[in-house]
Structure 1
Amino acid sequence: MSSLDASQIKVTGEGLTEGTTGKKCEIYFTGAPIGELEKGLTTRVDGPQKSEIIVDFEKENSDGQVEAYYVPIVPGDYKITVRFNGRQVPGSPFKPKVTGQPVSAEKLISKATIHGRASELGKAYSVNEFVVDCSRVKPVIGSLKVHVKGQERSSAQLNLVDNKNGTFRVLYKPTSPGMYEMDIKIADAHIPGSPLKIRVTEFLSC
């Protein structure tokens, strides 16, 4: 358990007071080592459209700050809640005002691509794998979310692996043959090609 408490965490940046649709609204965190921040920090952005704060826990900038941002796609009044170890940090909730025209999430993520035979054809009772490439999606407006469903009484174990280079491995293990549907989304918007229609068979030919 961390010996630090929320009162020691400092949050700064223009993104706490204002922002523009479709652009990075920057935020910075200090007051704890990166490892402690990654374990204890939670954020939430509420407003006309839910947004996600993207935090770079890999490194600190030259001022010893951990950099983060969010990309709102709808103008209006937002509320940012920041907690550390379950308690709100000083100044939270922050209430930025976002201006600009509404931006299409689909347009922002239009450069995401899907690669691999297993995105169309899979083998039952086995782990199937394909790749989602989001490396050309800039700025990142949210994390990748994957959901799969099969026909009645069919399901698939699902695992998403972040390769830390903008690409993701999607692994799924169907419990039976049949047709499966897989949603792949960023910021609640389907990436190109989603939802996938995957035919799962008992045997795959080479």
Structure 2
Amino acid sequence: MRDLGQQFYQIKFKPKMEGVHTLSILHKDAHIVGSPFQFTVGVFSDGGAHKVRATGVGIARGETNTVNSFNIYTREAGAGQLSMAIEGPSKAAVEFHDHKDGNCHVDYKVTQPGEYLFAIKFNDVHIADSPFKVFIAPATGEARKLELASFHDQGVPAGKAFTFTVLTHRAKGHLEAKVVTTNNEVETIDIVPIEEGESYALRFVPKCAGNHYIHVTLDGAPMRDSPFRIRVGGVDSCDPTAISASGDGLKKAQTGQKCEFIVNTVNAGAGILTCQMDGPSKATLDAYELEKGYKVRYTALAPGDYFCAIKYNAIHIPGSPFRIPVEGQVLGGNGYNETSMVRLDAAAKTTKGTVVQAPTYTGDASKVEVKGAGLNKFFPGRIASFTIDTQMAGTNLLFVGVVTTKGPVEEVTVRHQGNGHYVVSYKIPDRLKGFIFINYGEKPIPGSPFAIEP
């Protein structure tokens, strides 16, 4: 690896055999955008837009009135025409620089902050993950005053509150923050002033492992370097390059027929496995666990090319996305691009099979909230109830017990309503005094045990 200056690096390697190689490029122990890259030595087996990769800081964020850059890797796609369109608050000045080695880089400059859409096409077909959402921050102005503090981007535990600080230095405007999770879900972030006008604490609870992206804006304009990436859970031990996919279902298919392929996750660690099918029709898509991976099954309803993107913790596995030609009669679909997806919390597997390991929970009992009349009063022979809210406490095991002077109550029901909200119902047939014990993990919640009486 050679530093060529002006933020360019040249990488050389000498392959010893023909075939598909996987090139991983990491920065701060994390794959850069687009990595791992496919590099074929010898005859190409497949080409096209789905083999093009766009990578670099400039495809995720940028600044106004500044030259922002990113790379486009086209070598694996074969010969073709590359094009790009940028839509956003202002017109973009764009320059392409072809390095004549299957790689080019793009310089662009815009004048207004906000969200831009980058549509990158190869032979008039969108490349993988296109169109890209790119957040442009103002080069000058109030948002430039914002500063990040107390921000730890690695080893953040799932289910436990993650807090960081933004210093605003008296910047004028409305501060907002959101997080885009590994599952591409968007969640708002709580903002609490530490010192009004000067500093604010931002807090959210990540629910699953993987890369999360935090967006911080002032009056809609992103602050410098936003979005910020954090790695939640055991991402360090997760290796997407160890995963392989194989089977006839990745090579060809017939409409109306169930097709399948195997995703081998041995030695890849635990992570979030997603399979997304894009094509002329929605595909019925499901998956189930095998000893050394997962079997994915799908049925396409319209002929044409389908593209299957397989990701592990939001990173494409080697070879992804896969192009699957489908033949047969039209049984459904509208001929336009439609998407189907299946998502799995993949367990860690070895050559001997699944690693059986009990999950570790770190939810905070002190943040659990309860309310309802059933916490202190009941009517003999009738159902009493109350609610428990664990949303702000993180993930843990909930224990509820109701006892009277006669011993444990026979009828107690705990129902999860979703998003950490529970409804507890119990019935005591006699006029007896008792107590309700509530533990979150190994610790009692505030107020437990609660005294109850008829």
- Does the Cα contact within 8 Å between 1:149 and 1:156 map onto a contact in 2? no
Q: Is the partner of 1:123 in helix, strand or coil? A: coil
1: distance between equivalents of 2:382 and 2:348?
Answer: 42
The residue number in structure 2 matching 1:66 is: 344
CA contact (8 A) 1:148 1:158 kept: yes
8 Å Cα contact 2:402/2:436 also seen in 1: yes
For 1:1-206, list aligned pairs within 5 A: 23-24=157-158, 25-26=233-234, 27-28=270-271, 33=286, 64-67=342-345, 90-93=353-356, 108-137=364-393, 139-140=394-395, 142-152=396-406, 155-199=409-453, 201=454
From the superposition, tell whether residues 91 and 116 of structure 1 become closer, same or farther in structure 2 (CA, over 3 Å): closer
**Contact 2:271-2:313 within 8 A present in 1 as well:** no
Distance 1:195 1:29, change over 3 A: same
For 1:166 and 1:154, the matched residues in 2 are separated by 25
For residues 187 and 132 of structure 1, what CA distance do their matches in structure 2 show? 14
Q: Output the aligned Cα RMSD.
A: 3.9
**Cα distance change, pair 179–66 in 1 and its aligned pair in 2 (3 A):** same
How far 1:110 sits from its partner (Å)?
A: 1.3
Deviation at 1:133, TM superposition (A): 1.2
Give how far 1:128 is off: 0.5
Gaps of 5+ in 2: 1-153, 159-232, 235-269, 275-284, 290-311, 317-341
The one-letter code matched in structure 1 to 2:345 is: E
CA–CA distance in structure 1, aligned partners of residues 416 and 354 of structure 2: 32
Counterparts of 1:146 and 1:130, CA distance in 2:
11
Which gives a bigger RCO, structure 1 or 2 (Cα 8 Å, sep 6+)?
A: 1
Q: Deviations over 1:101-126 (max 9, x none)?
A: xxxx78x2212111111101111100
Report the 3-state secondary structure (helix = DSSP H, G, I; strand = E; otherwise coil) of the residue aligned with 1:159.
Answer: strand
Tell me: CA distance 1:157–1:65, structure 2 relative to 1, closer, same or farther (3 Å).
same
Match of 2:44 in 1: none
The amino acid of 1:90's aligned partner reads: G
Structure 1 position 127, deviation (Å): 0.4
CA 1:173/1:29 → structure 2, altered by over 3 Å: closer, same or farther?
same
Q: Matches of 2:348 and 2:432 in 1, distance apart?
A: 43
- In the alignment, the residues of structure 2 paired with residue 136 and residue 90 of structure 1 have an alpha-carbon distance, to the nearest angstrom, of 36
What letter is aligned with 1:127?
Answer: I
Structure in which a larger fraction of residues adopt strand: 2
1:154 deviates by 6.9
Aligned residue for 1:197, secondary structure, equals strand
Q: Is the 8 A contact 1:155 1:176 kept in 2?
A: no
Greater radius of gyration (CA): 2
Aligned positions, number: 131
8 Å contact kept, 1:131–1:168: yes
